[in-house]
Amino acid sequence: MTNILAEEKPKSLTLADGKEYAIPALNLTVLANMEATIGFGLGRLQEKMVDETASTLRLVIYALLKEADPKLELEEVGKLVTLDVMKDVSEVLSRVLSIAI
């Protein structure tokens, strides 16, 4: 049986500069902050991914990374997400999408 009171552990994502960036544990506050950063509700995330794939992907990863490192800039995050790290980034995005649906 799943312990619903157990805290999800934060994860990390290694990006193109070789550094590990913290991905916060997904909770209601993190998800609400993401919505504020990306400018639309998570319910629209899948639709936005179809219409504006690259810009939406960059924005979602930025919103997640910004939780742990508020000094990061959107353009900087975009440059750190290269094709070499896309598999790991996609796994993180899949988790967010599964919550949004």
Decide: helix, strand or coil at residue 81.
Answer: coil
- 13 is a domain residue: no
pLDDT tens, position by position, 88-97: 888 877 877 6
- 78 is a domain residue: yes
- 42 is a domain residue: yes
Q: Which domain holds residue 76?
A: 21-100
Provide the 10 A C-beta neighbour count for residue 85: 17
> So what's the pLDDT on residue 73?
97
Of the pLDDT bands very low, low, confident and very high (cuts 50, 70, 90), residue 101 is low
Q: Read off the pLDDT of each residue in 53-67 and give the average, rounded to a whole number.
A: 93
Q: What is the pTM of this model?
A: 0.81
Provide the 10 A C-beta neighbour count for residue 96: 20
Of the pLDDT bands very low, low, confident and very high (cuts 50, 70, 90), residue 2 is low
- 10 is a domain residue: no
Number of domains in the chain: 1
Distance of alpha carbon 48 from alpha carbon 4, whole angstroms: 31
Distance of alpha carbon 76 from alpha carbon 42, whole angstroms: 23
pLDDT tens, position by position, 7-49: 666 688 899 999 999 988 888 999 999 999 999 999 898 899 8
- 8 is a domain residue: no
- 1 is a domain residue: no
